Structure 1
Amino acid sequence: MTDATPSFLKIGDTDIAYRHRTGRAPGVVWLGGYKSDMLGTKAEALDAWAGETGHAFLRHDYSGHGESGGAFRDGTISLWLEQSLGVFRAMTEGPQILVGSSMGAWIALRMAQELNRAGEGDRLAGLLLLAPAPDFTSVLVEPKLSDANRRDLEEKGYMEEPSEYSDEPYVYTRALFEDGRKNLVLDGVIDTHCPVHILQGKADPDVPFAHAMRLAEHLPADDVTISLIGDGDHRLSRPQDIALILRSLEGLIERPV
């Protein structure tokens, strides 16, 4: 069964909140997006699916997100990657499918690189990437910065942008942009050594579907499936989107090794 209340794992100086449902392999690991948490619609749907099918399921909140400790403004891709790898290594056994949403897809791709580099590539059974936003700081956000945004980053160390998904603005720090450049994945071939399925809405206002197509160009073609959803938005949380996510996940599970 899954945890009704979160458990905590100290990584560095921060208590990282997680929920873990024990079960059979391959397990599923959820990686949420920027300013999201592990209690969102998609994560809850995956947990319910895991309960019905008997698969293990792990989810956590990055520092500064949800129930985890730490300040959001102190977060970087490198830090959230370190935390995700820490929870993954501590709480999972055997092959896992990483399900990454938006920024979580970037984290998933970097996890695949780091696990393969460490000789742990056999821990990955597949990647399911939802509205993937790898390199979003450099490719999607920086080119659109106004002079005022750049001035705030230089003088204050951060900038704010209104959010369609929250009453609170998005905060982007200078450290996030600088660290993002150290974690770019769209600058060469991304060898995941496992199958990848990308789900992307064509009506996504935040991550254009051309970005998903660009990502596919950096992945080995024989291991990649792309599903474009004509009226799909960035959240991909409608009932029909959830159904497609679960079918895609089951397809990765049933794929012969």
Structure 2
Amino acid sequence: MTETPPDFLDVDGTAIAFRHLDGKEPGIVWLGGFRSDMLGTKAETLSDWAERHGRAFLRHDYSGHGESGGAFADGTISKWLTESLAVFRKFTHGRQILVGSSMGAWIALRMVEELRKSGEGERIGGLVLLAPAPDFVSELMEPQLTEAQRRDLREKGFFEEPSEYSPEPNVYTRALFEDGRKNRVMTGPIDTHCPIHILQGLADPDVPHSHALKLVSCLPADDVTLSLIPEGDHRLSRPQDLDMLLRAVEAISAQVG
């Protein structure tokens, strides 16, 4: 675990926790998944690697996650995207490689869209996406909702289900579903104009590898590498998975730098 306390950036009245290492470009920006935080194994591994190689590294917790303020149930893709862009713009310079895990891959792809809209698209030098879950609300969750879950969304505005990764249940709100539909990225070609490496476990119980294949089909103009890991699960935190992550980041760093 990282011993130094985080710094904080106020984003729309919420204290967003972040940690930043100064170093050379292209820098690395970590974007975690749903209910995860910036002290997880993959983020810590990247931080250690960046420190050893004198590479800039930035990570943060979305509101309602980890050390940041705010309530998890108030979170939406739009809210977490706004926070991620604020931290990115405030604390990075030059070209960056976005490393997004699960929902973080969705945030990364939306960040690319928003940065391109604002004329900052050249800031993104590459993407490394682990078990990417863009559009997971509409693509992966909605088709499998039970009638009881649909009723809870209508009547209570949320439903809960046990989490494999936390003692606290996952909370899914009506706002998350409605906002998720507005942030879909896999509705047509996705233009990132940068190299992309996708790591996907074939034993992932949360995001099927068919979802990664669909994402690749939406990236026709880009230099895309897809690595399917036979026994890899959703976390991709085994030593061999972490080694693949670092090799993917190193390769894109060399290509961009």
Residue type at the aligned position of 1:230: P
Per the alignment, residue 90 of structure 2 pairs with 90
Paired residue secondary structure (1:242) = helix
For residues 127-153 of structure 1, the C-alpha deviation after alignment (integer angstroms, 9 at most, x for no partner) is: 000000000000111111101001111
Structure 1 position 220, deviation (Å): 2.5
- Per the alignment, residue 55 of structure 1 pairs with 55
Backbone CA RMSD of aligned residues: 1.1
Tell me which residue corresponds to 2:22.
Answer: 22
CA apart distance, 1:110:
0.2
Structure 2 CA distance for aligned equivalents of residues 246 and 127 of structure 1:
13
Q: Which moved more, 1:2-11 or 1:21-30?
A: 2-11
Return closer, same or farther for 1:190/1:96 CA change in 2, 3 Å cut-off: same
Q: Which amino acid aligns with 1:253?
A: S
AA at the equivalent of 2:120? E
Cα distance change of structure 1 residues 157 and 27 upon mapping to structure 2, 3 Å threshold:
same
TM-score, normalised with respect to structure 1? 0.98
1:193-230 C-alpha deviation (Å, 9 max, x unpaired): 11111000000000000000000000135411100000
Counterpart residue number, 2:173:
173
Contact 1:3-1:20 at 8 Å conserved across structures: no
Contact 1:18 1:61 in 2 (8 A): yes
2:161 aligned partner, one-letter code:
E
Greater mean deviation of Cα atoms: 106-115 or 247-256: 247-256
Q: Which residue of 2 is the match for residue 234 of structure 1?
A: 234
Paired residue for 1:224? 224
Aligned positions, number: 256
Question: What SS is found at the alignment partner of 2:33?
Answer: coil
In structure 2, the partner of 1:209 is 209
Q: Which moved more, 1:66-75 or 1:218-227?
A: 218-227
Q: Is the 8 A contact 1:3 1:19 kept in 2?
A: no
Question: Which whole-Å CA distance do the structure 1 matches of 2:190 and 2:136 have between them?
Answer: 16
Tell me, in whole angstroms, the C-alpha distance in 1 between the residues paired with 2:45 and 2:152.
39
Give the gaps of 5 or more residues in structure 1: none
Moved more, 243-252 or 162-171: 162-171
> What TM-score does the superposition give when structure 2 sets the normalisation length?
0.98
Alpha-carbon distance between aligned partners in 2 of 1:229 and 1:137, rounded to the nearest angstrom: 24
Q: Aligned partners of 1:241 and 1:52: how far apart in 2?
A: 19
Amino acid of the structure 2 residue aligned with 1:206: D
Aligned to 2:28, what secondary structure does the other structure show?
strand
Aligned equivalents of 2:47, 2:178: Cα separation in 1: 34
Percent identity reads 68
Tell me by how many angstroms 1:3 deviates: 8.1
Give the conservation status (yes or no) of the 8 Å contact 1:3–1:21. Answer: no
1:68 is aligned to 2:59: no
What's the offset of the Cα at 1:97? 0.2
